[in-house]
Amino acid sequence: VCDATNPKAVAKLRALKQRDSKPFAVLFSSLEAAKAYTYLSKEEEALLSSWRRPIVLLKQKRALAEGVNNGLATLGCMLPSQPIHYHWFDQLNTDVLVMTSGNCHSEPIYIAPQTAEEQLGAHVSLFIHHNRDIQNRVDDSVVAFTARKPVVHRRSRGYVPEPLFTPKSMDGIVAFGAELCNTFAVGKANQLIVSQHIGDLKNWDTFAFYQESLTRFTELFHITPRVLACDMHPEYLSSKFALEYALAKDLPLIHVQHHHAHAAACMLEHKLDEEVLAIILDGVGYGTDDTSWGGEILRCDYSKFTRLAHFTSISLPGGDIASHEPWRMAVAYVHELLPQ
């Protein structure tokens, strides 16, 4: 946490988080304070003030300290969700604070006071601990409005574990999710209970958080796993864990194509239970032909799909590293499209 109007404080926090350009979210003391810096529609105002208290992406009216959102036209805003937030603003000379998770880059939120002090003690001025242990990590939810309708970008605090209702029984299904921006889901009768945002399964600490959360969900909601589902990608940690889980408990495991899963999720969100034409403009997904897919038109329902069309396949130099070093793809396209 730091003063969102203090450029030095924001720069120090950005250095600590190793966060070069990704914008920070801010906490306003009140709706009136938020209106001084952003434009709000009635719908945005209602959601920002709701009991869910998500981060709402708003059009910025007035700039905060340089480095808060690095020149973007939008600002991630939230209002106090806990009594201590109101107490802070009673004691401070600012109406807006940068609020970001208490962890180092790519690691899950620290929930043990000792871990937080060991990892961050040399860099922060003050720790505030509670007298009760934290049992469950939960990020803030993020919502934006499109055509005056809310679109949830990250479903977590305030939304989880509210179930999604399904046209077919989901009882006993455990879906392990993908690797990036992971969430998993468990089925109970005609309800699908999706986990909080877990994050990218790229290191041991996040993977341990993932395993811990999945165990908690199955126990908390009295789920008896009967069928398991995972992404088709053989190298995803979630897929490997699903295979180990299936072998250990002698359960069937279904491998789901990544973009078919996106289509099915959109169908459920919009209450469709029929064959649809789905345009999936996602990133990489492992295909049924053992190549990486990206940009498909699928004819599908919940259980099957046909790939009708797709972007032209292109070499992916270095595999996943090409997504972090775009010049590799530029070279690949030059090599593919220009005469030799």
Query: Do 307 and 298 form a contact (C-beta atoms < 8 A)?
Result: yes
Residues 221-247 have pLDDT tens digits of 999 999 999 999 999 999 999 999 999
Query: Do 77 and 56 form a contact (C-beta atoms < 8 A)?
Result: yes
C-beta pairs of 3-7 under 8 Å, 24+ apart in sequence: 3/65, 3/92, 3/94, 3/96, 3/97, 3/98, 4/64, 4/65, 4/68, 4/94, 4/96, 4/97, 4/98, 5/64, 5/65, 5/94, 5/96, 6/65, 7/65, 7/66, 7/67
Residue 164 pairs with which residues in a beta bridge?
192
Do residues 218 and 311 share a domain?
no
Do residues 293 and 316 share a domain?
yes
pLDDT of residue 312: 86
Residues 147-169 have pLDDT tens digits of 999 999 999 999 999 999 998 89
Do residues 78 and 202 share a domain?
no
Do residues 149 and 27 share a domain?
yes
> What residue has token string 């992971």?
182
Q: In this structure, is residue 322 part of a structural domain?
A: yes
Do residues 281 and 300 share a domain?
yes
pLDDT of residue 86: 96
Do residues 14 and 65 share a domain?
yes
Q: In this structure, is residue 264 part of a structural domain?
A: no
Q: Give the range of the structural domain holding residue 35, as residue numbers without chain letter.
A: 2-101+139-154
Do residues 285 and 206 share a domain?
no
List the chain residues with pLDDT less than 50. none
pLDDT of residue 226: 97
Buried b (16+ CB within 10 A) or exposed e, 83-105: eebeebbeeeeebbbbbbebbee
Residues 180-215 have pLDDT tens digits of 999 999 999 999 999 999 999 989 999 999 999 999
Do residues 200 and 277 share a domain?
no
Torsions phi, psi for 25 (to 5 deg):
-90, 155
pLDDT of residue 340: 67
Do residues 144 and 182 share a domain?
no
Do residues 244 and 290 share a domain?
no
Q: Could you tell me the end-to-end alpha-carbon distance of the chain, in angstroms, rounded to an integer? A: 55
Q: In this structure, is residue 205 part of a structural domain?
A: yes
Do residues 94 and 208 share a domain?
no
| Residue closest to 37 by CA, chosen among 51, 52, 48 | 48
Q: Distance (Å, rounded) from C-alpha 33 to C-alpha 58?
A: 13
We report the CATH number of the domain holding residue 215 as 3.30.420.360
Number of folded domains that form the chain = 3
Q: In this structure, is residue 203 part of a structural domain?
A: yes
pLDDT of residue 55: 98
Q: In this structure, is residue 115 part of a structural domain?
A: no
The Cα-based distances of 183 to 55, 123, 230, 277 in angstroms read 19, 31, 11, 25
| Residue closest to 229 by CA, chosen among 253, 259, 264, 262 | 253
Q: In this structure, is residue 185 part of a structural domain?
A: yes
Q: Which residues contact 169 (CB under 8 A, 6 or more apart)?
A: 187, 189, 190
Q: Distance (Å, rounded) from C-alpha 245 to C-alpha 225?
A: 10
Do residues 32 and 148 share a domain?
yes
